[in-house]
Amino acid sequence: MAFFNYFSKDIGIDLGTANTLVYLAGRGIVVNQPSIAAVNVKTSNILSVGDDAKKMLSRTPPHINVVRPLVNGVISDFEVTQEILRHFLVMAGGSRMFNYRTAVLGVPSNLTEVERKSVEDAAVGAGVRHAYVIEETVAATLGAGLPINEPTSNMIVDIGGGTTDIAVISLGGSVVSRSLKIAGDHFNQDIINFVRDEFKLLIGEPTAEDIKIAVGSAMPLNEKLEIFVRGRDLVSGLPREITIKNTHARAAIARSLKYIVDAIKEVIEIAPPELAGDIYKNGVYLCGGGSLLRGINELIARELSVNCYIIDEPLTCVVRGIGKVIENIDAHKRFLDNPVHPKDISL
């Protein structure tokens, strides 16, 4: 059996709405690609996946459809998700000789059993022998190197592409959690709506993403930032260029940020009082792409009156935590939602 294990690999997957990251045991992070596929609607063939497909977003002819198969952390198109996973597994080094024995996938905390089962089935269909899931907030706590097994609280806020996951972690598990369908993609839509309403200019999602990254902020800035944006004028129907300032971007996403802050407050309100005291002492930890928004930690710290920290390398925090599980799955199997049985480990 050990001989066959030599040709098998264990793998960790952070299957996100915006990006998918793959961790290969013994090698680290080997894939970091957008969770996007370009599909030929006439033949149902997948033309490209990841970065190549993202370049086609809002630029395709009618017979090519660029799709995100995950919406708010939930699989909405099972077949495309399976094909994306199969493509990424090949990129990670899969072949006919080498296959994948065990996969651990990160999922939002609010998924139903059916939704979690669909994630496992997609991984198995992509070529994995055994698939298990772990809550992303628990994986983020592991990836941040926080004391997850001690009787003290670690409050994690994972602001991803489709969901914001908020959890109070203690003694290796999630005590209180909430998943909010307001995150990076929602910020983009807020910016699209703002530019349309204020400037009568229609822009696409890639341009909104550029605005968010270039001038977006959660708090007023000392410096003035601006970006030139091109789109279609809603009045004349012709191309037009405008200037978007950081004040515009902040006004566009202000309401969504308030929803996230209010959700964090609600989680603290229903947490046990001892853990709430620990949060005051230890602070709140942010990860995910949304934590890179300028001043978001300052906004949360001001509204909650507690310290707020951004975890080192927040974009890879979850997959690094999943990687720790994969590297020593016997020691970490208690963190899995569907625990690994001894017979599964030996295969």
Cα 136 to Cα 21, 107, 159, 185, 203: the distances in Å are 13, 5, 11, 18, 32
User: Which residues is 31 bridged to in the sheet?
Assistant: 22
Residue of higher predicted confidence among 299 and 5: 299
Give me the mean pLDDT over the 22-40 stretch.
91
**Is residue 199 pLDDT above 90, yes or no?**
yes
What integer pLDDT is reported at residue 339 of this predicted model? 56
What integer pLDDT is reported at residue 331 of this predicted model? 85
Is the pTM higher than 0.85? The answer reads yes
Q: Give the SS3 label for residue 77.
A: coil
Confidence of residue 6 (pLDDT cuts 50, 70, 90): very low
Q: Which residues of 87-101 are buried (b: 16+ CB within 10 A; e: fewer)?
A: bbbeebebeeeeebb
Q: What is the pLDDT of residues 204-252, one digit of tens each?
A: 999 999 999 999 999 999 999 999 999 999 999 999 999 999 999 999 9
**Is residue 149 pLDDT above 70, yes or no?**
yes
The pair of three-digit structure tokens given for residue 205, joined into one six-digit string: 């999602």
Give me the mean pLDDT over the 274-285 stretch.
92
| CA dist., res. 285 & res. 308, Å (int) | 6
| CA dist., res. 122 & res. 53, Å (int) | 20
| CA dist., res. 90 & res. 260, Å (int) | 37
For the chain, percent of residues with pLDDT exceeding 90: 63
Q: Write down the number of H helices and E strands in the chain.
A: 13, 18
**Is residue 3 pLDDT above 70, yes or no?**
no
**Is residue 5 pLDDT above 70, yes or no?**
no
What integer pLDDT is reported at residue 42 of this predicted model? 87
| CA dist., res. 306 & res. 331, Å (int) | 33
What integer pLDDT is reported at residue 261 of this predicted model? 96
**Is residue 100 pLDDT above 90, yes or no?**
no
Cα 202 to Cα 56, 131, 199, 242, 272: the distances in Å are 18, 43, 9, 11, 47
| CA dist., res. 88 & res. 20, Å (int) | 9
Q: Map out the domains of the chain with their CATH numbers.
A: 2-139+316-345 (3.30.420.40)
Which amino acid, 128?
Answer: V
The pair of three-digit structure tokens given for residue 250, joined into one six-digit string: 């902040």
Residue of higher predicted confidence among 97 and 300: 300
Q: Which of 1-5, 68-72, 120-124, 283-287 has the lowest mean pLDDT?
A: 1-5
Confidence of residue 96 (pLDDT cuts 50, 70, 90): very low
Query: Is the Cβ–Cβ distance between 87 and 52 less than 8 Å?
Result: no
Cα 175 to Cα 169, 264, 267, 275: the distances in Å are 6, 14, 10, 9
Q: What is the pLDDT of residues 132-145, one digit of tens each?
A: 999 999 999 999 99
Average pLDDT score over the chain: 88
Residues in the chain: 347
Give me the mean pLDDT over the 1-24 stretch.
76
**Is residue 343 pLDDT above 60, yes or no?**
no
Q: Which residues of 247-260 are buried (b: 16+ CB within 10 A; e: fewer)?
A: ebbbebbeebbeeb
Residues 149, 291, 195, CA angle at the centre, nearest 5°? 155
What integer pLDDT is reported at residue 341 of this predicted model? 46
What CA dihedral angle connects 49, 51, 53 and 54, to 10 degrees?
A: 140
The pair of three-digit structure tokens given for residue 50, joined into one six-digit string: 């990841």
Residue with tokens 């299957």: 15
